[in-house]
């Protein structure tokens, strides 16, 4: 596939970009890159949308989650069913060492913020043939202690919907269904957690008020 890249988070930083006004929040377009060419290159690219109204053209609606060959730890989820929740979508594959380095943080966030309304979804998009086999993915999910929902994306339907090009890749979606932040590669864990906290706090203001007692 074109544009596939494994990325780690130290050597080359393409900078964090604060998006305001009419700037775009979509992932950068990738060229026709041979699979594995950039495996040894460390790249981190962050796109942050901060304090942008829901009506702003700067925000990108959450792409579809349709097309997974199987869901683990959950019934199939959709962007419609997730409205009102803050969502972290983690693109990973079990033979990617950079992905494995991020998993303890993703697991921690899933457990720590579940009661506050965070839903973590692992999208397993394979690189190698053996990673396309659902039984292998199920085995690795159990071995790695992943308890949050995992979409087995062996046909790359979700990968393409997000226009994703990296392992690992994190996308944070707000309670209104807008992609507000993306991070590619390892690192920036404190920053990612701050964005999670900010979006959860923001979501409290979007909840309908209860009936007065």
The confidence score (pLDDT) of residue 194 equals 97
End-to-end CA distance of the chain: 58
Alpha helices (H) in the chain, listed in sequence order: 97-112, 134-143, 157-161, 189-204
The pLDDT assigned to 142 comes to 98
Cβ–Cβ under 8 Å, residues 72 and 137? yes
Q: What is the pLDDT of residue 59?
A: 72
**Gap between the Cα atoms of 91 and 178, Å rounded:** 17
List 74's β-bridge partners, or say none: none
Structural tokens at position 90:
């983690």
Tally of CA atoms within 13 A in the half-sphere of 213 that contains its CB: 0
Residues comprising the chain, all counted: 213
Residue 88 CB neighbours (<10 A) = 23
pLDDT at position 11 = 30
Query: Among positive and negative, which fits the CA dihedral 132, 133, 136, 137?
Result: positive
Backbone torsions φ then ψ of 158, nearest 5 degrees: -75, -40
Domains of the chain and CATH, by start: 5-198 (3.40.30.10)
Report the candidate in 79, 94, 75, 105 with the shortest Cα–Cα distance to residue 154: 94
Within a 10 A sphere around the Cβ of 179, how many other Cβ atoms?
22
List of the chain residues with pLDDT < 50: 1-3, 8-58, 211-213
Tell me the per-residue pLDDT of 103-139, one tens digit each, with 9 for 90 and over: 999 999 999 999 999 999 999 999 999 999 999 999 9
């Amino acid at each position: 596939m074109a544009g596939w890249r494994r990325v780690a988070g130290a050597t080359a930083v393409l900078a964090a970009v604060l998006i305001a006004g009419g700037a775009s929040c979509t992932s950068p377009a990738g060229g026709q890159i041979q699979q594995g060419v950039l495996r040894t290159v460390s790249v981190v690219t962050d796109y942050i949308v901060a304090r942008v109204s829901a009506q702003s053209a700067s925000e990108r609606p959450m792409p579809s989650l349709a097309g997974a060959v199987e869901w683990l730890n959950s019934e199939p989820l959709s962007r419609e069913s997730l409205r009102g929740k803050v969502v972290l979508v983690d693109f990973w594959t079990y033979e990617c060492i950079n992905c494995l380095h991020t998993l303890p943080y993703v697991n921690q966030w899933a457990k720590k913020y579940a009661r506050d309304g965070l839903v973590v979804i692992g999208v397993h998009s394979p690189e190698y043939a053996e990673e396309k086999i659902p039984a292998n993915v199920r085995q690795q999910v159990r071995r790695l202690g992943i308890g949050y929902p995992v979409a087995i994306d062996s046909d790359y339907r979700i990968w393409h919907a997000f226009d994703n090009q990296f392992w690992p890749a994190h996308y944070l979606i707000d309670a209104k269904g807008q992609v507000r932040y993306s991070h590619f590669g390892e690192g920036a864990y404190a920053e990612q957690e701050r964005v999670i906290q900010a979006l959860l706090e923001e979501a409290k203001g979007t909840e309908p008020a209860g009936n007065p007692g």
